[in-house]
Structure 1
Amino acid sequence: KKNNQWDKENVTWGKKSKKYYYGATSIDRPDFIGWLKNKQIEVVLFNEQNWWEPVVWCKEMGIITGTYVDYYTEKTVPFFAAYDFLICNTQRHYNLFKEIAHAYYVPWGTDIDLFRPQSKKDVEASSIVFFHSAGMNPIRKGTDSTIRAFAAIDDPNSRLLIHTQERLSAYLDDEVCRIAERHPRISVVQKTVPAPGLYTEGDVYVYPSILDGLGLTVVEALACGLPCIVSDNAPMNEFVQPDVNGRLVAIDYLYARSDGYFWPQCKISLSSLEEELQFYLLHRSSIESEKVKARQSAEEQYNWKDRYKQICTLFKEVKHEPIDEVLSRRIYSYEQHLNGKYNMLPYAFYYWKKWRSGWTR
């Protein structure tokens, strides 16, 4: 609340209640159902919904339900059949869910009028600036690998600019933080910057992410005309074509994430990342052509205006189907086991770890 962007007449701030769910997206059931009835809601689009009971509530009321697919585990994948439609913004999501009825591949779209190149730079005569966005999760976004790889390159005509919204010391080990602090060609900006952010300060975007549901910063960087160095793993490599609009970093191995997320994390090859950084320093002339192609790929494939039309058409076509009773019982049983009235320990442990992490750093 108290956000001018969202405090509008057509926005309702729902009540939260830990009676039903102890996680971050708790919903007060009477308040939610009352809102659905009073506003005569016909379609509900859930965004990254990890708690399944509200989906069943909507289905039982005859409301068309859909979701923007992002988070799921091996246990919850079958539950997506409860929805009337699924919006999959990557091929990886779509390939998994296409056997479930009414799954649609809707490529990610970004505001290419907001995210756009700002000025032309002579990369042949200037220092090459590698830009990396650490966001709010430097570990997942490969910030440590980016720092280590860049520090291994001895080229006085290169710089690394890191934008983060969190203290790097709260996530990265002391050695990496010391490198970032003391290296003469590494700059760290810690603050929230309104869109379009700091993309236009760089020449090449570096994003060796270990895991992503989407990787939206890659699309934003492309729209700003930055060739992208990304992990050769889906979905990051869905956006980048080598020698066209970026480069791919080799993967050493895959490993599971502790929370059971369906897709594994990837361990990138540090030597491969160094090679890809070095490539642009040795082939500066290719940067200019790839900048043009990066922007073209965003205009042709990831324009939000195209996605807007696609989604509006989809909303007109989708139909409500009664939820399968067996599936409904499975969902309620799963949630009761996971979030039962006396099952607060996992959440208490989660928040304790967050508190302790901030305190120890």
Structure 2
Amino acid sequence: MKIGIVTTWFERGAAYVSRQFKDILEEQNQVFVYARGGEKFAIGDPNWDYDYVTWGKAPLTHAFTDINLKDFEKWIKEKQLDLVLFNEQKIWAPVLLCRELSVLTGAYIDYYTEQTVPMFGLYDFLICNTKKHHSVFDWHEQCIFLPWGTDTDLYRPENGVNEPERIRFFHSAGMNPFRKGTDLLLKAFSKIQGEAKLVIHSQVSIQSFFPELEQLILSLKSQDRLEIHERTVGAPGLYTKGDVYVYPTRLEGIGLTILEAASSGLPVIVPDYDPMNEFVDSSINGKVVKIDKFWSRWDGYYWPQCEVGVFDLTEKMQFYVDNKLSISQFKADAREYALLNFNWKHNTSSLNQEITKIRQIESKGFSEILIKAKNYDQKLFQRHKKSTKKLFSEAIEFNYPRAFMVIKKLKSMLRS
């Protein structure tokens, strides 16, 4: 079978999700990637730029996940695709185009609202990687549940590491430290008693993100209790810089770093809220933190956000400081639990067989959903229009890249 994956394709969590699916599917199929235009491209990056990747043309609007339909249709026909799997697709037009072309469509479930849930019936099949997502979409007649996992060979503990002099708590803040709960972690860590250090990996400036915490950050740094790495780091990341992974996130579709950290041999501390707590057994591989409050997100995402209690977060972290002499065993238990439960190849061993059973769902009774999906798109297209000047500029850049660069340099020289 010839399969296409439509996705973000650069150093980002969503792209790693797509890559994991690609690796499994290509064991028995020919797989191609369509990197959506309008997002960041990794052209020339040896980690992402391969011959199976097509870098999509810029779409006609700024609407997130909009796709240039002419370019997309050309890709489908050139690759002679039988099936297209969409990752984090919010615009419905490409899905409807696939149906018109009699190409099977599937969605990896991540983002949805109460309004869009029924529209997922337009897909021929769905893939859910958490019990939480599956509970929303189990009405779909071809909904596949595959527990999430990770590459347990890539994410692994360091060999021959000695007992630490102090417990190192590691945290990944990514591109959005607020969503990841980095502010809550800093406040909780400042209350820890005993020998401990907090190591944070972020792709943005933590101090700029939380100006109100500047004095706390500077104080912890001056005491050599805080170490921050602000740069993009590819897999397998910086997990081996820690002994315990702390992730007081406010909202997750899955929580990729939880499994990566666990596979790297780190006990994990997460909110007692799904899907995060789906990956933690408090008696074996970590701790869960009590939730202080829930509230809805501004964009109407189906599930509410959560916020852990700083006091309980401090207590859960303090446990590992007080039991430092047992940290080697805690880490060994975390790794063993990951090998048993988070092995991606094992968890998806049935996927290729499941794919062969997928049939195109009949369009009977689709009229109402089709109208809703098209209206949904139109509202986003109107809200995120591109100017004629922008469209012309993108056309020149794509069709005449050298000329575009010359014009860009000339403009820069004239401004200076």
TM normalised by structure 2 equals: 0.78
- 2:101 matches 1:61: yes
Give % identity.
43
Give a deviation string over 1:43-88, Cα, whole Å, max 9, x none. Answer: 0000010111111111121110001100111110111111111111
- 2:171 matches 1:132: yes
CA RMSD between the two structures: 1.8
Shift of 1:17: 2.1
- 2:200 matches 1:162: yes
- 2:238 matches 1:201: no
Alignment of 1:2-151 (within 5 A): 2-18=44-60, 21-123=61-163, 126-151=165-190
Report if the CA contact (8 A) 2:62-2:385 is conserved: no
**SS of alignment partner, residue 55 of structure 2:** coil
Change (3 A) 1:344 1:196: closer
Shift of 1:101: 1.6
Q: Once structures 1 and 2 are overlaid, which stretch shifts more, 96-105 or 210-219? A: 96-105
Shift of 1:297: 1.9
Partner of 1:180: 217
Given residue 28 of structure 1, which amino acid in structure 2 is its aligned partner? N
Aligned match for 1:311, one of 351, 367, 386:
351
Q: Distance in 1 between matches of 2:50 and 2:320?
A: 47
Aligned match for 1:331, one of 373, 380, 383:
373
Task: Please list every run of at least 4 consecutive aligned residues from structure 1 whose deviation after the TM superposition is greater than 6 angstroms.
Answer: none
Q: Distance in 1 between matches of 2:190 and 2:323?
A: 19
Given residue 180 of structure 2, which amino acid in structure 1 is its aligned partner? K
Partner of 1:351: none
Shift of 1:8: 2.6
Report if the CA contact (8 A) 1:169-1:177 is conserved: yes
Q: Distance in 2 between matches of 1:344 and 1:202?
A: 42
Change (3 A) 1:131 1:58: same
Alignment of 1:213-292 (within 5 A): 213-292=253-332
Shift of 1:28: 1.2
Report if the CA contact (8 A) 1:97-1:103 is conserved: yes
Instruction: For structure 1, list consecutive stretches of 5 or more residues without a partner in the other structure.
Output: 348-361
- 2:342 matches 1:302: yes
Report if the CA contact (8 A) 1:180-1:187 is conserved: no
Change (3 A) 1:104 1:41: same
Shift of 1:331: 0.8
Give a deviation string over 1:296-323, Cα, whole Å, max 9, x none. Answer: 2221121122244332222222111233
Given residue 297 of structure 1, which amino acid in structure 2 is its aligned partner? Y
Q: Distance in 2 between matches of 1:235 and 1:300?
A: 18
Change (3 A) 1:7 1:73: same
Report if the CA contact (8 A) 1:62-1:322 is conserved: no
Change (3 A) 1:42 1:105: same
**SS of alignment partner, residue 51 of structure 1:** coil
Q: Once structures 1 and 2 are overlaid, which stretch shifts more, 295-304 or 217-226? A: 295-304
Give a deviation string over 1:268-322, Cα, whole Å, max 9, x none. Answer: 1000001001111122244332212211222112112224433222222211123
**SS of alignment partner, residue 197 of structure 2:** strand
Change (3 A) 1:238 1:178: same
**SS of alignment partner, residue 267 of structure 1:** strand
Larger RCO (CA within 8 A; separation ≥ 6): 1
Given residue 276 of structure 1, which amino acid in structure 2 is its aligned partner? K
Q: Distance in 2 between matches of 1:120 and 1:231?
A: 31
Shift of 1:26: 2.6
Give a deviation string over 1:125-183, Cα, whole Å, max 9, x none. Answer: 6211011111111001110011110111232x1111111111113322x2323312331
Q: Distance in 2 between matches of 1:206 and 1:346?
A: 41
Give a deviation string over 1:314-356, Cα, whole Å, max 9, x none. Answer: 222211123323321221122123323xx33899xxxxxxxxx
Report if the CA contact (8 A) 2:146-2:348 is conserved: no
Shift of 1:117: 0.6
Given residue 121 of structure 2, which amino acid in structure 1 is its aligned partner? A
**SS of alignment partner, residue 86 of structure 1:** strand
Q: Distance in 1 between matches of 2:385 and 2:63?
A: 11
Q: Distance in 2 between matches of 1:243 and 1:287?
A: 14
Given residue 284 of structure 2, which amino acid in structure 1 is its aligned partner? V
Shift of 1:120: 4.5
Q: Distance in 1 between matches of 2:385 and 2:219?
A: 41
Shift of 1:241: 0.9
Q: Distance in 1 between matches of 2:233 and 2:298?
A: 31
Aligned match for 2:361, one of 321, 331, 346:
321
**How many residue pairs were aligned?**
340
Report if the CA contact (8 A) 1:243-1:290 is conserved: no
Shift of 1:261: 0.8
Given residue 58 of structure 2, which amino acid in structure 1 is its aligned partner? K
